[in-house]
Amino acid sequence: MSIFCHGLLAVVLLAKVSEDILDRLDIFILSLQELYVPKPLLWEWCWLMSIPVAGVGLSALRKNNAASMKIYVSGTFMFGIVPVLAAAFLYFSEMSEYIQTKSNVTFWQGYPIAVLWYIFIVLAVQIHVFSLYFAIRLILAWQKVVTVRKAK
């Protein structure tokens, strides 16, 4: 379930970066350009690298493979948690400024960008923490089965 939620967040972020991807491919869609979506930052591209890692996790689930699940855990931490924490630090000052003064912040379509990103950050952290918890529990369970089999 947490990988499914990860996929939903990925769709949201892919929708955000789609204008930049199309721009790099020299494909111009006027309705997308009129939205004036901010250019993606490095952390957004790094977080998108967690999508293939989720595929590794699904494959590990299908095969009950602890080694692949360990790759999923390290990849989720590296490409899921770290970029989101970087974004939290990046938008922290703007978010605190908005909370205190409700002004002097960047807006997009009438909404403060920092608030929008913090909604994404909170959801992503919850999803990734639950994913890591379940993955680690599975690894431990699968390793116990292997040790029991070796003992026999």
Is there a domain that residue 10 lies in?
Answer: yes
Band (32; pLDDT cuts 50, 70, 90): confident
Provide the 3-class DSSP secondary structure of residue 2.
helix
Q: In the numeric block, which tokens belong to residue 76?
A: 């989720």
Is there a domain that residue 118 lies in?
Answer: yes
Could you list the residue range(s) of the whole structural domain that residue 46 is in?
A: 2-147
Is there a domain that residue 152 lies in?
Answer: no
Is there a domain that residue 124 lies in?
Answer: yes
Answer whether 87's CB lies under 8 Å from 124's CB.
Answer: no
Residue-wise pLDDT tens digits, 103-135 = 778 888 888 998 999 999 999 999 999 999 999
Is there a domain that residue 43 lies in?
Answer: yes
Answer whether 117's CB lies under 8 Å from 87's CB.
Answer: yes
How many domains is the chain built from?
1
Residue-wise pLDDT tens digits, 70-108 = 999 999 999 999 999 999 999 998 898 888 887 778 888
